[in-house]
Amino acid sequence: MAITKVWIEDGCIVCNACETACPEVFHVTEDTCHIRGEVREDGTDDTNLADKHPLKGDQGASLEDQIIEAAEGCPVEVIKFEKG
């Protein structure tokens, strides 16, 4: 099963590890990390915490390894994802 949703929980320390691992999905801002709108069905660039919108098409399948690497490399463990 592929990753269908990715979100950032509160507590991001903007270390850039996620964006380094998977710049297609993660965009680090001054105070948190966003899930890029280009890879989300709703097209919004934010943490995706409130609504947990799904990823577009096959984004979750094609970027699964990088998303998992980013989540595992997050020192504060705020990157979450769902498989479906």
Please write the tens of the pLDDT for every residue from 33-70. 999 999 999 999 999 999 999 999 999 999 999 999 99
CATH class (in words) of the domain with range 3-83: alpha beta
SS (H, E, C) 2-65: CEEEEEECCCCCCCCHHHHHCCCCEEECCCCEEECHHHECCCCCECCCCCCCEECCCHHHHCHH
Q: Is the pTM of this model over 0.75?
A: yes
Q: 27: pLDDT confidence band, cut at 50, 70 and 90?
A: very high
